[in-house]
Amino acid sequence: MLINRYEIQVSEVASDLFQITLEQPFYEANFVYLLRGSQNILIDSGYIESLGKLSRSLRFLGLSMKKISHLIYTHNHVDHISGGLLLRRYAPHIQTVGHKRLQKDRDFLFFFHSWIHENERLIKLAYREEKERESHCHEFRHKWFSFLSRFEGTGGKIGDRYIHLDLPVEQGSSLALGDRKIDFIETFGHNRWHISPIDHKQKWLFSGDLLLENIPAIYYNLDGDYLEYKKTLKRVLEQCQGYTFFPSHGKTSYQDKKARLMLRTLDHLERQLLHYLREKSHPTGILLLLEKIFRQRFHSALHSLVGIALLESMLRYLMDQGQVDSHLFANGYEEFFRV
């Protein structure tokens, strides 16, 4: 059942499981999940500016924030956690759940500044000309600093820059939340704090950003790990055969064959990348590699950064294996070649 009224998008994807769609400026819309029962559980909170829409969506379902008992963070990226960092300001009763490492690396604003620097580094890595670099950075800066104002301002509703966990979890943790038993597995690779809640009784896995519709987002120099991502997919396939995967973006749900397809796709992209570099007689920049390997021309830095990040992660992995090397220029631009 899909409800789309007054900009509210709520879909009951299974019995007592609701998928709430929330927009955000950095990527495609987010899915936040509501598990209804004797205790009402939210999985992720969306982008900070979407918190009002989340509240309206809950009211449409006959709930308020006061009726939410637990909020589970799959990881600490802006579109998953920033709504919750504001939510705690006026709903402190909600018990927050996340990977225990978030208690150590809990300064979200510091992490976000690191994310800004990483995106600027990726632009420098991919674009050689200074004018082009500045043009693409300009596309981001308005969104970046508009977001920062929600944490660094002095008036209005300002988000808490620190992540507070009431219930830290890790691999193998299990929580009895009302009439549900939620288990957790570590699903690192996209992010080093990434967890996936599982309802084994229903065979549901909430995969966060582990599975996206096309290519995964892996930021090698920030918090991602390409090899760990592939290991995670294999482990999830072993443990959760026949389960339904509920992602944070893309389609409503996936079956486990989506994870198998993702693994095959990454292996194919690696082979294509090595073949293309072997055929080239001179080092090649990452933008041309994007066009050749993904067979798509990227005209906007906003749309290409996920591809640049994944391709760099793949290239660093192949460099560690001794199959690829690179030439780094003084301005941060880099070209790659087959060894």
Domain range list for the chain = 2-106+158-261, 265-338
Does the domain at residues 2-106+158-261 carry the CATH identifier 3.30.830.10?
no
| DSSP structural state of residue 209 | T
Looking at the structure, give the CATH architecture of the domain made up of residues 265-338.
Answer: Orthogonal Bundle (1.10)
Q: How confident is the model at residue 301 (pLDDT cuts 50, 70, 90)?
A: low
Q: What is the pTM of this model?
A: 0.93
Q: Which of 64, 106, 82, 112 is nearest to 22 (CA)?
A: 82
Place of tokens 């924030």: 65
pLDDT, one tens digit per residue, over 121-136 is: 999 999 999 998 888 8
Phi-psi group of 281: left, alpha or beta (phi > 0 → left; psi -120 to 50 → alpha; rest → beta): alpha
Q: pLDDT at position 5, please?
A: 45
Q: Which residues of 270-303 are buried (b: 16+ CB within 10 A; e: fewer)?
A: beebeeebeeeeeebbbbebbebbbeeebeebee
> Does pLDDT of 296 surpass 70?
no
Place of tokens 């390409």: 226
pLDDT, one tens digit per residue, over 136-186 is: 888 777 777 778 877 876 555 778 889 999 999 999 999 999 999 999 999
